[in-house]
Structure 1
Amino acid sequence: MKASAKQQQALLVMQKCDTALARLTYDAQHLPEHEQLRELKQAREVKTREIASLQANLSDYRREASKVANDVERMQARIEVLNQRLDASAGSPKELANMQEELDNVTARLDLVMEKQWEGDDELKKQQAQIDSIRTESENLSQQINELTAKRDAQIADLQSQAQPLIDERKAHMVIAGPELTREYDAIRKSTGGIGAVALRGRSIDGMSVQFTPAEWDRIRKAPSDEVLVSEDHEWIMVRVDD
């Protein structure tokens, strides 16, 4: 492939931009807030499940409490009727004796049921208090999540603002490099995992320790300036720059 020195050198600017953009992308993906948010959301999910379970139990208790309350009301009504009849001596001695016996039995049962009602009310209060406590914890977690999300989003926005000038600079140098050379560079960069072009200064690659075989160095030395050199060992485009 042929390309002017200016076109080839545009690749070095594109590589600089791509390396910086990759670093910014990595930073955005590895913010500590990501893991912190995951843990907080998991904790909130646990609280949500706990509340749902306790509310189901609370509904069962309320249904039972409603039954007990109905029993209390029914027995209190019966006691009132029996007391009225006994006070009025409405009935024969035998009937009155039976009514007194029933009254004693109903009163005894009422005492037991009311005790159960008090215990149930106490348990209802305890469960509701537990639900309220867990709900408060869940709300606190939600607040932390909101605050941390805002912090994370602000950091990502800052990284994006840093990325935009690099994107613009890359686009400008893509125009200089031209579509064919840009496609070749992008294909190589994808194949190597990030490096598409390197600066060849004399017999050295900037920032790397690379040894050329005599045969490859002879190929590089003899290549015309407009020839796009690709490393035989590493696949990179080697852009020749002045010493």
Structure 2
Amino acid sequence: MKAAPEAQKRLLDLAELDSVVDRLAHRRRTLPELAEIDELSKRYAKLATNVIESETEAGDLAREQTKAESDVDAVRTRADRDQKRLDSGAVTSARDLSSLQSEINSLQKRQGDLEEIVLEIMERREAADTKVGDLRRQRDEVGAARSAAEDRRDAALVEIDKEAGETQGRRSAVVGDVPADLLALYDKLRAQYGVGAAMLWGGRCQGCKVALSIAEMNRIKAAPHDEVLRCDECRRILVRTPESGL
């Protein structure tokens, strides 16, 4: 393949710009905020699930407390009614009086037992409500941290995309100076090796950093200036410059 020396040298500018594009793409993929957001999202999802579970537990205890208090009220009402009957003097039979007093005593004991149950439920409910509050606070703190990380990520992406756009603009200008066949070869090699062209500097290929043999250097010296050369070691386009040591 033939190409003017100046066109070949433009490949070095193109390779430098492509290197910038690659670095920006790598930076975009590996922003520390991305891993941070992923970790915070996992923590947020777990905490959100824990909040729902704790809210469900607290809700169940609230209903359990309501039922227990209702049972206490029912027993208290019945005991009060029996006590009024006893105090009214309407029951005169000794047997009925004994039975009524026994029922009142039983109801009072039942009321005491139920009130103990209510207190135990209230303590559990208080602990559950405290747990719900703590989990909500943790969830909200993680959510706020994630939002802050997302803001930092978005700001970094705007900066990266701006630089990438400017670099692509400069690249388009350089591409205009490179013949189509040479550009096609460069793009093919770049896809294969990551870098499509490298400078021959001081007798060494700057793509693979391998020093060329004397025979290879002599072959390059003898090659026409417009011949497109390839490095025997890494197969990249080898661009000759005044620093090549020829």
TM-score w.r.t. the length of structure 2 is 0.86
In the alignment, is the contact (CA less than 8 A) between 2:40 and 2:142 conserved in 1? Answer: yes
Q: Deviations over 1:43-94 (max 9, x none)?
A: 3333223323322322332332233122112212212321232233334523
- Which 10-residue stretch deviates more, 209-218 or 152-161? 209-218
User: SS in structure 2 opposite 1:176?
Assistant: coil
Cα distance between partner residues in 1 of 2:23 and 2:141: 34
User: SS in structure 2 opposite 1:227?
Assistant: coil
User: SS in structure 2 opposite 1:199?
Assistant: strand
Q: How far apart are residue 196 of structure 1 and its match? A: 0.8
Cα distance between partner residues in 2 of 1:12 and 1:121: 77
In the alignment, is the contact (CA less than 8 A) between 2:205 and 2:211 conserved in 1? Answer: no
* Corresponding residue for residue 151 of structure 2: 150
Aligned residues: 242
Cα distance between partner residues in 1 of 2:32 and 2:229: 42
Q: How far apart are residue 15 of structure 1 and its match? A: 0.4
* Corresponding residue for residue 125 of structure 1: 126
Change (3 A) 1:206 1:234: closer
Q: Deviations over 1:18-61 (max 9, x none)?
A: 11122222333333333333333333333223323322322332
Cα distance between partner residues in 1 of 2:183 and 2:73: 87
User: SS in structure 2 opposite 1:198?
Assistant: strand
1:179 and 2:180 correspond: yes
Cα distance between partner residues in 2 of 1:69 and 1:183: 84
Cα distance between partner residues in 2 of 1:241 and 1:51: 67
* Corresponding residue for residue 197 of structure 1: 197
User: SS in structure 2 opposite 1:3?
Assistant: coil
User: SS in structure 1 opposite 2:104?
Assistant: helix
* Corresponding residue for residue 86 of structure 2: 86
User: SS in structure 2 opposite 1:234?
Assistant: coil
Cα distance between partner residues in 2 of 1:197 and 1:146: 43
* Corresponding residue for residue 34 of structure 1: 34
Cα distance between partner residues in 2 of 1:223 and 1:95: 129
Letter aligned with residue 147 of structure 1:
A
* Corresponding residue for residue 114 of structure 1: 115
RMSD: 2.3
1:14 and 2:22 correspond: no
Cα distance between partner residues in 1 of 2:125 and 2:97: 40
Equivalent residues in 2 for 1:51-70, closer than 5 Å: 51-70=51-70
Structure 1 residues without counterparts, runs of 5 or longer: none
1:240 and 2:240 correspond: yes
Cα distance between partner residues in 1 of 2:181 and 2:209: 29
Cα distance between partner residues in 2 of 1:137 and 1:59: 20
Cα distance between partner residues in 2 of 1:41 and 1:202: 52
Q: How far apart are residue 207 of structure 1 and its match? A: 8.0
Letter aligned with residue 75 of structure 2:
M
In the alignment, is the contact (CA less than 8 A) between 1:44 and 1:138 conserved in 2? Answer: yes
Change (3 A) 1:3 1:106: same
Equivalent residues in 2 for 1:127-142, closer than 5 Å: 127-142=128-143
Q: How far apart are residue 101 of structure 1 and its match? A: 1.2
Q: How far apart are residue 102 of structure 1 and its match? A: 1.0
Letter aligned with residue 76 of structure 1:
R
Cα distance between partner residues in 1 of 2:179 and 2:72: 90
- Which 10-residue stretch deviates more, 131-140 or 215-224? 215-224
Q: How far apart are residue 136 of structure 1 and its match? A: 0.9
Cα distance between partner residues in 2 of 1:151 and 1:233: 43
Q: How far apart are residue 128 of structure 1 and its match? A: 0.4
User: SS in structure 1 opposite 2:176?
Assistant: helix
TM-score w.r.t. the length of structure 1 is 0.87
Q: How far apart are residue 202 of structure 1 and its match? A: 6.3
